[in-house]
């Protein structure tokens, strides 16, 4: 397995609507394994393929608490889609590997059912609540070109993006 480079906003790949995976190949399975390795290396709880410059409908998630270096229990989802969501919204202060040092309060349904294809090709469903529900929605947003700051009002979005751009410029100076 390999750690892949993360692409950061404003990279255009993050705004693309991703392509459906029509066949599970060894390349797709290797990419999913590499995405898991990358997610763990970055101490993330989720990662979508466009974040590693692959515009395909693939995500990996693992919200279980674990120590760095310990094996996790990742879920690999191919062509995930939310098929049911609760009416009850809760707010979570979300971060994103493609938006370093940015945190945004996002209101999302607190439970969802997601249909996806597993690595064996079978259609599966997962009913998720709490953090897993939020993580799945966040990563599926990536597959549709949606980023966390898109949930903000235009005024708040401009403030957050100016701060992000300033931080990225300073990080580049180091």
In 3D, which of 47, 63, 76, 61 has the Cα closest to residue 142?
A: 47
The phi, psi pair for 86, rounded to 5°, reads -75, 160
H helix or E strand, kind and range, residue 85: strand 75-85
Which of 42, 67, 125, 139 does the annotation list as catalytic? 139
Q: How far apart are CA 73 and CA 94, in angstroms?
A: 21
Q: Which two tokens stand for residue 21?
A: 């995976």
Active site (annotated) includes residue 67: no
45-49 long-range contacts, Cβ below 8 Å, gap at least 24? Answer: 45/131, 45/135, 46/135, 46/136, 46/138, 46/139, 47/97, 47/139, 48/18, 48/139, 48/140, 48/142, 48/143, 49/18, 49/143
Please identify every residue annotated as catalytic.
139
């Amino acid at each position: 397995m390999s750690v892949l480079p993360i692409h950061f906003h404003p990279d255009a790949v993050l705004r693309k609507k991703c392509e459906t995976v029509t066949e599970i190949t060894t390349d797709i399975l290797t990419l999913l394994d590499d995405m898991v390795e990358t997610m763990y290396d970055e101490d993330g709880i989720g990662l979508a393929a466009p974040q590693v410059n692959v515009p395909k409908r693939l995500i990996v998630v693992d919200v279980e608490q674990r120590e760095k270096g310990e094996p996790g229990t990742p879920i690999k989802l191919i062509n995930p889609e939310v098929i049911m969501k609760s009416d009850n919204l809760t707010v979570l202060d979300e971060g994103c590997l493609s938006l370093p040092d940015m945190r945004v309060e996002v209101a999302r349904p607190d439970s969802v059912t997601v249909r996806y294809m597993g690595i064996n090709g079978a259609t599966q469903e997962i009913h998720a609540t709490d953090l897993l529900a939020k993580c799945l929605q966040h990563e599926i947003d990536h597959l549709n070109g949606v980023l966390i700051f898109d949930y903000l009002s235009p005024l708040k979005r401009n403030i957050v993006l100016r701060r992000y751009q300033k931080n990225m410029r300073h990080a580049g100076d180091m």
